[in-house]
Amino acid sequence: MVLFIVGLGLADERDITVKGLDAVKQSERVYLEAYTSLLLVPKETLEDFYGKEVIVADREMVEMEADKILDGAQQKDVSFLVVGDPFGATTHTDLEMRARSQGIPVCIIHNASIMNAVGACGLQLYRFGEAISIVFFTDTWRPDSFYDRILSNRRSGLHTLCLLDIKVKEPSLESLARGKKVYEPPRLMSINTALKQLLEVEERRREGAYEPDTVCVGVARLGSHSQRIVAGSMQELLQVDFGPPLHSLVIAGDMHPIEQEYLQQFRAGSGPDAAGTAAPAAALQQD
């Protein structure tokens, strides 16, 4: 039969497409990938809406036990649900290739993701360069490989979408060293943490990829009723409470006047419920 890889969109159970919902309803089993991104509603809400049991597929299942997902898909339809779009992570490409190698037809059903919906902040999508990921620093591991890509984007005048770390069902290093997996509590990186880490790396590298007064846009819970978009300098956004996850960050490159004008509505401190210090309009003018 068919393996459906279904994009769920950005926020809740109603963001699924009609085509995606049809696929879920006709599937024998339904899996929800739950580690590269998260919906803003629990799986029980999805089950009520779909009228189907939803099996949570963590990293271990998807990467190490993919055959469990594909088992029986030659005879029955199976749906694999992905927050955002199916091709938002390489893991999903790997699952598709595994299915095809076993002669299982695959149907991809696309949806909105942060990669295109981030245009809601007013920065034009065709002016974005390579996206980067920022992971949580530890006492002994403070990687900065993303810095070179931000520097390249900025030198080319391009914006950079920063995808922030999501840790769900991650074993602690201490437990692995003892040979027994003990999972840490879930952690989802905030815009504020990402900014602190970015500024720490700039202080260490000092190559001018960005600085405290570089214009950025913080995006929280995009696509939901409580979405928050705030524009300002890195230093200003450090003072903003963006609320619950999920968060993303854009480091602006050179901006067209229309982009600059659009960003003014999101200027830090401009709204009735805005937090942080107000930024003067000139702060959103890129040199």
In angstroms, rounded to a whole number, what is the distance separating the alpha carbons of residues 216 and 230? 8
Closest listed residue to residue 241, CA positions, set 252, 250, 230, 249 = 230
In angstroms, rounded to a whole number, what is the distance separating the alpha carbons of residues 104 and 97? 10
113 labelled ligand-binding = yes
For 56, phi then psi, to 5°, come to -75, 125
247 labelled ligand-binding = yes
In angstroms, rounded to a whole number, what is the distance separating the alpha carbons of residues 96 and 91? 9
161 labelled ligand-binding = no
55 labelled ligand-binding = no
| Amino acid at site 8 | L
N-term to C-term CA, the chain: 56
* 3 state SS of 161: strand
222 labelled ligand-binding = yes
Closest listed residue to residue 62, CA positions, set 85, 81, 42, 38 = 81
Binding-site residues for S-adenosyl-L-methionine sit at 10, 85, 88, 113-114, 164, 222, 247
Binding-site residues sit at 10, 85, 88, 113-114, 164, 222, 247
